[in-house]
Amino acid sequence: MADVRLTGVTKRFGATEVLKGIDLEITDGEFVVFVGPSGCGKSTLLRTIAGLEEADAGEIAIGGRAVDDLSPSERGIAMVFQSYALYPHMNVYENMAFGLKLAKHDKAEIDRRVRAAAETLNITDYLERKPKALSGGQRQRVAIGRAIVREPQVFLFDEPLSNLDAALRVRMRYEFAALHERLKTTMVYVTHDQVEAMTLADRIVVLNGGVIEQVGRPMELYERPRNLFVAEFIGSPKMNLLPVEIVEGSAAGATVRTAAGETVRVAVAAASAAPGQAATLGIRPEHLAVGGEGDAITARVTFVETLGHATYAYLEAGDSPLTVLAPGDMRPAVGETLTLRAASAQAHLFDGDGEAFARL
């Protein structure tokens, strides 16, 4: 096992700077997930750690050793790609053993590693099968097994579940978590699916436009996003965002006014907020209640999703869309106007630059 340290890592493709001075430390045995929209640089960052892309500036160290001048095979890493890339003419055993044979390990050592990895991944019964006889999830296990047999210091995963159907992705998320618990090896995982990130990660790295917006534990990012980008990206359904203006602000909280003239109290440290200042109010769907006591926001229902255990109501408050998570037995009608109460302690407030005021 090993830690990974990135210092000022920059990568350009032509005139486009894809990574802009990335600084990041991943501790020994940690499971870290890179998330962000398409084009944010997450896969490029992973490939740069692997040595498949060469950084234009900065330093990468694995296990305390600078690896910038080392080839991928010398870095002590193993990478699993979105594509399984299995050799169709080889059976599972041969696919898993192939890299070790190229590295000229002896036959007994190869057999030990392959069978140990197969047992870890519950694919011992498939060792004699060809890839065409396997399901998508089984093929992905073989690809992971091919990485495990190398006994790397660091595992790198580039969207390994994106080719699987929804039900199988759920199962494989559990298997990745269990694998990390068994191996206790440093793992770096790239995904565009923030549910995968929230489920698997010890820490999440949110990337946007080649820079790190925030690094933290899943619930830290969910409950205390640093800025509007993280607030909107983390969470499903997304956080509700309403344009507001500051009525008053202090270290003990802030009062804001919506475009419809409704006031909402927010439990944030807003001593720097000036009356009349433009801001953005953020409220997650589960923190809006229909009816009850407190600050009110009125909105018109435009669509309702009934899921049995819960109901999602989609509304419009002026020009702002809102989503409310309601109990499953609630059935608001399309066109109905609802009075919504915002939970002040769970609300967020962002200044004109999109930076969050600290929650109390």
In order of 44, 179, 287, 290, the CA distances from 310 in angstroms are: 39, 32, 14, 14
Long-range contacts of 256-264 (CB under 8 A, 24+ apart): 256/281, 256/349, 258/297, 258/317, 258/318, 259/318, 259/319, 259/320, 260/297, 260/298, 260/317, 260/318, 262/295, 262/296, 262/297, 262/298, 263/295, 264/295, 264/297, 264/342, 264/344, 264/347
What average pLDDT does this structure show over 19-35? 98
pTM score: 0.92
43/192 Cα distance (integer angstroms): 10
Kindly report, residue by residue over 93-131, the tens digit of the pLDDT.
999 999 999 989 999 999 999 999 999 888 999 999 999
37/40 Cα distance (integer angstroms): 6
- Give which of 27, 31, 1, 9 is closest to 218, Cα–Cα: 31
Kindly report, residue by residue over 125-174, the tens digit of the pLDDT.
999 999 999 998 899 889 999 999 999 999 999 998 887 888 888 888 88
Strand order in the sheet with 288-290: 288-290, 337-342, 296-306, 310-317, 320-327
Contacts (Cβ under 8 Å, ≥6 apart) of 232: 238, 239, 241
Bond from prior residue into 237 cis (ω within 30 degrees of 0): yes
181/296 Cα distance (integer angstroms): 46
What token pair was written down for 59? Answer: 């330093």
3-state secondary structure of 314: strand
210/36 Cα distance (integer angstroms): 10
What token pair was written down for 210? Answer: 């080649």
* From 24-28, 180-184, 293-297, the region with the lowest mean pLDDT: 293-297
The pLDDT value recorded for residue 295 is: 73
Kindly report, residue by residue over 281-313, the tens digit of the pLDDT.
999 999 999 987 767 899 999 999 999 999 999
Query: Please, what is the average pLDDT of the chain?
Result: 94
- Give which of 261, 181, 307, 225 is closest to 35, Cα–Cα: 225
